[in-house]
Amino acid sequence: MAKKVVVVGGGTGGLVAARMLATESRRLGRDLEVTLVTASERHYMPPLWSEVALGTASVDETWAPIKNAERVYGFKVLVDPVKGLDLDGRRVTTENGKTLEYDFLVLSLGTAYGWSDYPGLDKYGFHNYSPEGALELKDALFTFKGKRIVFLVPELPFRCGIYPLEMALNLRAYFESRGQEPEIAILYPGNAVRMALGEGLERFFLRRFKRHNIRYEPGFEKLVEVTEDRIVTQKGEYPYDLLVKSPPSRLPKLLADAGLAHPADPRFSVVSGPRFQHPDRPEVYLIGEHAMPPVGLLTAGVPIHNAAVIAAASILHDAFGGYMIPSYAPTLCFGHSFESGFMGNCEYWWIPEEGKWGHACYTVATGPTVRMMKDSFYRGWLDALR
């Protein structure tokens, strides 16, 4: 009888895991029943929402129908929000009354946003962490006539840690082309650039910021509140005419209700070992952004992609016996930097006594071609589903 795998979440992690499970089991001539369950018919590529905000992409260019994965990759897709997880009974129930039994469960639900956890943060400012937010930011940028633009990161870690750095440089180019030279500042509660990206990439960004007159101000300690025209922190106040904010990460409600909050940091989920398994239930794999920080990884697409590959390989190993489980791969990432782009590489090693990955990152290449490579990758990813 075929083993059953249920993958919850239709983002990057869910798609990569389901795709590898379906294509590899078919290639090996083995029987594996793979079902991906998702709340949305749309598989989004969130980094393209920056392009929406800048006016160089439409919202329709940032997604593809997840149902197409049935035809393209050969696994079943159920568009039906998950209502509950029965980890004891190995069952997943949906809002429309479906019950799916599993031998293996993969959870990749991204992260929820804690906008209301700081006074005023939900009321003031703009963001592009959703299609609707990107369109609102687009309008705000187009009509902006003020002097000060501030990027605010309320707490660490946060989703897509490189975003404020890229977007600040993009906005410098955006406004220079219109003959405007607003002040641009980036506020972090700590030195997240060095912690997340290492000294090599930190030097790269600091050089770029100096060249394009962008203030990078880490270490404001704690956000107190956001008002209509200023950010109040324990270190001081920062006035703004336009606020671009990043959301605090929070554990998705489905995972919290299932008792999957990490005991040391309930903003994220439990996860154990280099195979991204539940510490007490080895048949359950947690590979979304909610599972990255507890094992020392960034809440971004590339780490999740690697985690999905390891989880899928582990399931193939346990289901069929002997499938090779790869180590966590070095991550090559692409980024924008004003009119140009950069390519960075991070190498990882597992530290058993800490239960986390260590990493070292460095710059590989810079230039306009890298920017084109980044945009082409995102669009090509979606085209594969179309």
| pLDDT at residue number 250 | 97
Split into its structural domains, the chain has a count of 2
Could you list the residue range(s) of the whole structural domain that residue 233 is in?
A: 117-248
Residue 317: phi, psi to the nearest 5? -60, -50
Let me know whether 299 and 287 are in one domain: yes
| pLDDT at residue number 370 | 85
| Collapsed DSSP state (helix, strand, coil) of residue 227 | coil
Long-range pairs for 76-82: beta carbons < 8 A, 24 or more residues apart:
76/33, 76/34, 76/35, 76/36, 77/10, 77/35, 77/36, 77/38, 78/35, 78/36, 78/37, 78/38, 79/38, 79/39, 79/40, 79/41, 80/37, 80/39, 81/39, 82/8, 82/37, 82/39, 82/254
Element (H, E) at 63: strand 63-65
Examine residue 202 and state whether it is found in any structural domain, yes or no.
yes
pTM given for the model: 0.95
Examine residue 43 and state whether it is found in any structural domain, yes or no.
yes
Let me know whether 93 and 160 are in one domain: no
Q: Convert 66-82 to b/e letters by CB count within 10 Å (16 or more is b).
A: bbebeeebebbbbbbeb
Let me know whether 138 and 61 are in one domain: no
Residue type, 111: T
pLDDT in tens, 184-224: 999 999 776 766 676 777 888 888 899 999 999 988 889 99
Say which CATH number the domain at 34 has: 3.50.50.60
What is the separation of C-alpha 328 from the centre of its chain, rounded to a whole number of angstroms? 17
| pLDDT at residue number 50 | 94
Let me know whether 128 and 203 are in one domain: yes
Please give the Cα distance from 105 to 18 (Å, whole number).
11
Q: Which of 307, 327, 347 is the last residue of a domain?
A: 327
| pLDDT at residue number 174 | 95
Let me know whether 126 and 231 are in one domain: yes
Determine the number of helices (DSSP H) and then strands (DSSP E) in the chain: 9, 22
| pLDDT at residue number 195 | 64
Let me know whether 99 and 188 are in one domain: no
Let me know whether 132 and 242 are in one domain: yes
Let me know whether 92 and 187 are in one domain: no
Please give the Cα distance from 301 to 222 (Å, whole number).
27
Examine residue 386 and state whether it is found in any structural domain, yes or no.
no
Please give the Cα distance from 4 to 382 (Å, whole number).
27
Please give the Cα distance from 201 to 115 (Å, whole number).
29
Let me know whether 168 and 227 are in one domain: yes
Examine residue 210 and state whether it is found in any structural domain, yes or no.
yes
| pLDDT at residue number 196 | 64
Residues of the chain with pLDDT under 70: 192, 194-196, 198
Q: Which of 248, 270, 302 is the last residue of a domain?
A: 248
Q: Which of 327, 345, 369 is the last residue of a domain?
A: 327
Examine residue 360 and state whether it is found in any structural domain, yes or no.
no
Examine residue 46 and state whether it is found in any structural domain, yes or no.
yes
| pLDDT at residue number 323 | 95
